[in-house]
Amino acid sequence: MAFGIPHRSSAPRNDIDEADLRVGPPQHHAAGVKAVTVALERGIEQAGLIRTSRALTRLNHREGFDCPGCAWPEPQGRRRPAEFCENGAKAVAEETTLRTVDREFFAGHSVPELLGRTDFWLGNQGRLTEPMVIREGSDHYEPISWEESFALISDRLRAIDPDRAVFYTSGRTSNEAAFVYQLMIRSYGTNNMPDCSNMCHESSGSALTESIGIGKGSVSLADIHEADLVLVVGQNPGTNHPRMLTALSETKHNGGHIVAVNPLPEAGLFNFRDPQTVSGVVGGGTDLADDFLQIKLGGDLALFQALGHLLVTAEDEKPGSVLDQEFVQGSTQGYEAYATARRQIDWDEIDRATGLDRAQIRQLADRLISSKKTIICWAMGLTQHKHSVSTLKELVNLLLIRGMIGKPGAGVCPVRGHSNVQGDRTMGIWEKMPESFLAALDAEFAITSPREHGLDTVDALRAMRDGKVDVFIGMGGNFVSATPDTAATESAMGRIGLTVQVSTKLNRSHLIRGGTGLILPALGRSDSDDAHPGGAQMVSVEDSMSMVHSSRGRLTPVSASLLSEPVIVCRLARALLGSEHPVDWEAMGADYDVIRDHVSRVVPGFTDYNRRVRTKNGFVLPHPPRDTRSFKTASGKAQITLNELTYPKVPAGRLQLQTLRSHDQYNTTIYGLDDRYRGISDARRVVLVNPQDLAELGLVDRQMVDVISEWADDPTGRTERTAAGFRVVSYPTTRGSAAAYYPEANVLIPTDSTGDVSGTPTSKSVIVRLQPV
């Protein structure tokens, strides 16, 4: 049963005025009563009281719908009444909003006018309501039918070489939509499938696959509760994964210790005031980090090698007392070479790379030695550097030599961002899926998938830049604002003859196109999907810890013209590939059980998919290192690797900049203008700088500057990029570093500056100078 729409709400008319910037002191605790009031205010403002309450009471609950925000897992046992966080509630408010962007909106707003608006203003206008097209030479979108849309797309695709088309995927896409999407793309004849993972955790997958044979984390929520030591490295859980704070507080309540390693002192690392507990409302909450190591940007590889040195030499002094020799000898390869390398250390270089006191490093080594159950969690702070893969392999080395893989309370924990980014990869959204997957896909559907690897995100940008792409299709997301080198990306997109965006809300990517542009409006997670012969449909997702569970929208969509992503793909595939194609697209679009039956025969771990996904908690996918301490590497053992020590070198008079989210956004979706934990509100074009660095640079707090990035190795010859009109804010970040919000600062990141092996943009390693305006 879908719940009705009680009333409409109006969209804001005013955009951001950067002159309204307000700065207060950073907070030292996360959540609390304020998080509850903000969450409710945003929901009621967007969707009204009744619709908001109906959505939030079903959010992340069994028989409800999965949060469209982050990929943090749900508890397997009893769930709390409010099984969501402040930012999850904001994500739902954005999706359940009663504001609409319809044909009258587009008639009254030209694309040139909309290009002058921010992502904040665009996203707050409301939900898209019907397919829209903008044709070459026009400045306005106008309505187009679904049938005409599919015909337009399929005609263009059939007229070109398949490898001149690019198919992007956002991490919000469900398992069912992702599976039929990659099936359509491979049936068409290309592997050009860039996705948002290319820009975030690709480094994690690359490192973990080489080290332990699978590119996924190995822990569960129960493991985090049970661990006696949890390292949170390069991650800001208070803003990016707030429900993780509940798990960390459980670690502390069970006697465990937490060590935070980060360049910024984020509120969520220090204290959590759980608004569903008495102490969180009227008390002091739960203190989280026992130690805080405020490391320099990109210095983590040096830290992990220093810790490795201390562990190896301690083992040398007392053999058998520090390392898990039985595991190392029986289940790993490479220890002897690793130990030889780690016995040598240049502490002066470690000091330069990390900026940490040696006593802090020794104390952390002592904690590792005394721990019986260690988990290391990380996010973008580790994955968006040139040397990220080496850094993460060194992190895994520490766990391997201690035997902290495949035992309760221990393991690797890459904390994923978007809610089904891991599931999309499992379903085949990858430009280089293994032969085993492609062979199974071909056998199931009587097709022949292409074997040549396709384009990832950065390679797709290069191909667009070089005029080698004729059609771009985006399944969700905001590609233009999410990718690096904004000016170059927009220029590259302007070369493309047809751009197609499957979306729920208006964003900047709809405004950048070369010839024809299409917007195809889709149902969201919270929307009921009832228009099927067999009744309402559900989808499924995979969380950060490899749990697969169902998601059912319950709210009446804001428009009867919206289609679900699986239906959009299946109808497009039928138009593109024809009725003689061996895949029964109509059956899959009508009944998602048919999709899941196919998945069960193609994707390992999904046997009996339809039954198991309907069980109380869904099901967990196989993970050999976790389940049996087995490793699908070439040697059959976990790999302890050798990695050259490298770290960013910042020239005099320059800073190393990292891009990050505010507390009032999720990826490129800007909910509001209150970065509450950092004390910054009502503006976004700010750059956070250590006060001592400001003094050395001859700058003062709130001074207006242009931020100019420098990269001498740019193969295009464009060595500088400028983000104009930022205000410096004195902030307690590490010396020599700076921070600014994305997408505003993405313009500074060169397209070709990417991580080794992973190809991830180096969004945390941007050398900049601040030029007074």
Confidence tier at 637 by pLDDT (50, 70, 90): very high
Nearest alpha carbon to residue 647 among 387, 397, 395, 342: 387
Q: How many Cα atoms sit within 13 Å of 465 on the Cβ side?
A: 17
| Nearest one of 135, 188, 182, 179 to 575, comparing CA atoms | 188
d(CA 424, CA 422): 5
First to last CA, the chain: 58
Whole-number pLDDT of residue 103: 97
What is the per-residue pLDDT across 376-403, written as a single tens digit (0 to 9) for each? 999 999 999 999 999 999 999 999 999 9
Query: What is the per-residue pLDDT for 310?
Result: 98
pLDDT band at 9 (very low <50, low <70, confident <90, very high): low
pLDDT surpasses 70 at 443: yes
Helix axis angle, 335-342 relative to 388-401, nearest 10°? 110
Q: Phi and psi at residue 463, in whole multiples of 5°? A: -65, -40
Degrees, nearest 5: CA angle 335-341-346? 145
Starting at the edge strand found earlier in the chain, the sheet holding 539-542 runs: 539-542, 547-551, 619-620
pLDDT at 565 exceeding the cut of 50: yes
Name the least confident of 274-283, 334-343, 501-510, 587-596: 274-283
> Token match 């001592």: residue?
692
> At a CB cut-off of 8 Å and minimum separation 6, what does 652 contact?
none
Tokens of 652: 């005099």
Is-contact 728 770, C-beta < 8 A? yes
- Does the pLDDT value for residue 665 go beyond 80? yes
Is the pLDDT reported for residue 621 higher than 60? yes
- Give the residue-averaged pLDDT of 355-384: 98
| pTM (two decimals) | 0.96
Q: CB-based burial of residue 530 (10 Å sphere; 0-12 exposed, 13-18 middle, 19+ buried)?
A: middle
The CA angle 738-741-743, to the nearest 5 degrees, is: 130
Q: What percent of the chain has pLDDT over 70?
A: 99
Mean pLDDT of all residues in the chain?
95
pLDDT digits (tens, 9 = 90+) for 179-191: 999 999 999 999 9
- Return the pLDDT at 172: 87
Give the pLDDT band of residue 1 (cuts 50, 70, 90). Answer: very low
Q: What is the mean pLDDT of residues 757-771?
A: 97
Task: Write down the pLDDT at residue 2.
Answer: 46
Q: What is the DSSP letter of 3?
A: B
Taking residues 517-534, what's their average pLDDT?
Answer: 95
Confidence class for position 3, pLDDT limits 50, 70, 90 = very low
Q: Nearest-CA neighbor of 599 among 410, 423, 475? A: 423
Q: How confident is the model at residue 5 (pLDDT cuts 50, 70, 90)?
A: very low
pLDDT, average across residues 475-484: 96
| Per-residue pLDDT band at 7 (split at 50, 70, 90) | very low
Task: Map tokens 């904690």 to a residue.
Answer: 367
pLDDT above 90 covers a percentage of the chain that reads 89
- Per-residue model confidence (pLDDT) at position 59: 82
> 473 with 181: CB under 8 angstroms?
no
11-40 average pLDDT score = 92
- Contact in structure between 239 and 90 (CB atoms under 8 Å): no
Residue range 10-22: mean pLDDT, rounded: 91
